[in-house]
Amino acid sequence: MELRKPGVTFIENNPSQVVLWVPEASSAGFVLMEDGQRIPMIPGEYGYWTLEHPLSPGDRYQFIINGEKTLPDPASLSQPEGVHGPSEVVDLTFDWTDTHWKNVPLADYIIYEVHTGTFTDEGTFAAMEEKLDYLVSLGITAIEMMPVAQFPGDRNWGYDGVFPYCVQHSYGGAKALQQLVDTCHSKGLAVILDVVYNHLGPEGNYLGEFAPYFTDKYHTPWGSAINFDDAWCDGVRKYYLENALMWFRDFHIDALRLDAVHAIKDLSPLHVLQEMRQQADALSIQTGRPYYLIAELDLNDTRFINPQEKGGFGLHTQWIDEFHHALRVSAGQERSSYYADFDGVVSLSKAYRDAYVFNGIYSEHRKKKFGMPTDNLGEQFIVFSQNHDQVGNRMLGERTSALVSYEMQKLMAGAVLVSPYLPMLFMGEEYGESNPFLYFVSHTDPELAEAVRQGRKNEFSAFHIEGEAPDPVAEKTFVDSRLQWGLIQKEPHQTMLRYYRRLIDIRKRQAALHMLNRKDSTVECLENQRTIILLRQHKMQDVVCLLNFSKEPQHVHVNLYAAVWHKLIASSDEQWGGAVDFPDTIAEEITLELAPESITIYTNDL
C-alpha cells in the first residue's frame, strides 16, 4: 500500500493506515490510550514502520519506541491535551462546497495578514468567519494567516509550533480550519497559510526523539538546522513535502508563505524548495487549481523566485522587507540598526524602480556588497508598510498609528497600494488600530520563559532602547494585542477605513495600477523636497502618483501632457480628514503645491 503521508490516514473500505518514520529503532508500537493496548508495528524500507488497524476519530494514542519511550505522533493532526499529551485521531474528510473555486490569480492578490488569536476577542477560526464580509467590503482578495501549527499553551505568534501537521487546538482544530477555508472560498477570498519549515519551537519538540530531523552541519538563529541534505534526510524531506501537500490537498489552502527560507539549508542537487514546487505543480494538475509558494527571504537573491528552467527554485513570489525599511525611513523612522542603510525617499524610489534596494551595492550595515539585480515581474514581490515582524519586534509593539501622524498613515498606505508589486496590509491598519501588537508566548517551563524575556531584552540592545518590554509570557500582553473592532464606528478610524477602501478600489479599477508591469513605471526622486513622482502606465493610460513625505508644502511640476487630468484621490482632501481640496480636473500639465505628508493621484483616462 502506498505511503500517502506519515501519521494516521483513513483508507476507504480498509482499516486505518498508520505510518511512523523511526529509522534507527529496534521496535515501534502503537498505544491506544483508552485501554492501554500496545500494538506492534511492522518495519519496512528506509526506516518506516506501518500498521493497519481499525481506528475512529477521537481515539487517542501514542507511539512507543524501543519498548521505552512513549511519545505523541510527530505527524499528529490533533493535540487536545497540549504539546506533551497524547495525539488524537482525525479524519480529514470534509464536505467541501468549493468545487468551482479556482484560486485568485496571483497578480490580483491584495493580502491581509491576520493572527487568529488576536484578530477577534474569541481568537478562533469560527470568530474569524464572522469578519470575512468585512474583509470583502474592504477589497481584500487573500487573507494570510500566521502559523497555526500546534504550539505550547494557548498564546503564541505561531513560530514556536512543534507539530507541523497539527492545527492549534485553542483556535478550533482541523475541522474548524477547513470550515473557515471553505467559507473564504464562497466569498471569493483566497487563503494563504504561514508555515515554518526552518525550525521548531523549544517546548514539546519531540521530532529528534524519532529520527535525525536536525543536523549540526548548519546552524540557524534557532539552533541546529532542519536536516534537508545530511544522513537520513530523505525521511525529513518527505515529512515536510507531505506537510505542504496536506495543506493544499486536505485543507484547500491556496498558498503557503514559507517562513525565513534563507534558513532552510540544503545543498542537495535538487533543493527541497524546488522539489516542493514540483510536487505542488503535480497536485495542481490533479485538482485543476494553482497553488502558490511565497518566500519570506532575507536575501536579495533571485534564485528563489526564478523559474526552475532558469536554474531557480521556482517560488512564485517573495516578501521584500527593503521596501518597508525605505518607506519607514521616508516617514521619519530613526536610522538605527538595519534602518541605517536606508536613505529615505532615495531608497524608496529605488525600491519602486528596482524592487531590491541593495542589488549588488555596498551595505554599510552588513559591511559588504549585498544582493543582485532583478528583472522579475512585479507580482513576484510583496510589499507592506507594516507586518507582524516589523510591529511585534518593536519593544512596545507600536503600530504605525502610534508612530506617525494621521496624514502620514494615509501617505504610507498610498505608497504601498500604488506600487507595481503585490500589496499586503497588517490586520487593523486599515482603520488605524491603536492597540499594540506585542510579542507573546505561553511556555510552561519557567526557565524557558525567563530565557525568552532575556532574549527580548538583548534583541532591543541593538536599537539602544531603554526600559523593559512587556512580559511576553503574561496573559495581559496577549490581551492588549487584540484588535478593537469598536473603533471602526468612531472617528478618525471610520474615515481612515473609508480611505483604505477607496485606495484599494482605485488600485483594482485603474489598469495602470492593477497591471504589475514594472517596465511601465518610472520614478523621479526630488530628494531635497522629500518628494517622489511615480508614473504608472498601461497602454494609453497614465497614472501620476505624487508622494510628499516632508512636513512642508512642496511645489511639483509633471512634465507630461494630457488634455485633462482627473483626480483619483488626494489624501489631503477634506473628505479624508485633510485640510486641502485639490481640483477634480487639471488641464494639460500637472502643476501643484502638494500638502505636507500627502499622496495625490491623477490619471489621464478614467
Q: What is the pLDDT of residues 592-604, one digit of tens each?
A: 999 999 999 999 9
What tens digit of pLDDT does each residue of 282-296 get? 999 999 999 999 999
d(CA 275, CA 281): 10
What pLDDT score does 455 carry?
75
Is it the case that residue 456 has pLDDT exceeding 80?
A: no
Is 258 annotated to bind a ligand? Reply is: yes
pLDDT reported for residue 597? 98
Residue 53 known to bind ligand: no
**Residue 283 is labelled as binding a ligand:** no
Q: Binning pLDDT at 50, 70 and 90, where does residue 393 land? A: confident
260 marked ligand binding residue: yes
301 among the known binding-site residues? Answer: no
The rounded percent of the chain whose pLDDT value lies above 70 is 98
The reply, when asked if residue 558 is annotated as ligand binding, is: no
Q: How many CA atoms lie within 13 A of 76 on its CB side?
A: 35
Q: What is 7-88's CATH number? A: 2.60.40.10
Q: What is the mean pLDDT of residues 196-212?
A: 96
257 labelled ligand-binding: yes
pLDDT at 1 over 90: no
Please report the pLDDT score of residue 3 as a whole number. 53
Q: What is the pLDDT of residue 4?
A: 60
In CATH terms, the superfamily for domain 520-603 is: Golgi alpha-mannosidase II (2.60.40.1180)
Cα–chain center distance at 324: 14
Q: Is 514 annotated as a binding residue?
A: no
List for the chain the helix, strand, coil content (%; round to 5).
30, 25, 45
Domain spans of the chain, in order of start: 7-88, 520-603
Instruction: Give me the half-sphere count of Cα atoms (radius 13 Å) on the Cβ side of residue 345.
Output: 19
Q: What is the mean pLDDT of the chain?
A: 95
Give the angle 260-266-271 at the CA atoms, nearest 5°. Answer: 95
234 appears as a binding residue in the annotation: no
Residue 463's pLDDT band (boundaries 50, 70, 90)? low
The residues that are catalytic are 259, 296
Closest CA to 411 of 535, 492, 488, 503: 503
Instruction: Give the per-residue pLDDT at 604.
Output: 96
∠456-457-460 over CA atoms, to 5°?
A: 85
Cα separation, 166 vs 88, in Å, equals: 10
User: How many residues belong to the chain?
Assistant: 606
pLDDT above 50 for 211: yes
324 is annotated as contributing to ligand binding: yes
Is 389 annotated as a binding-site member?
yes
Rounded to an integer, what distance in angstroms lies between the CA atom of residue 533 and that of residue 548? 9
114, pLDDT greater than 90: yes
Q: Quick check: 29 pLDDT over 60?
A: yes
Of 128-142, 152-166, 212-226, 483-497, least confident by mean pLDDT is 212-226
pTM (predicted TM-score): 0.96
Is it the case that residue 461 has pLDDT exceeding 80?
no
12 pLDDT above the threshold of 90: no
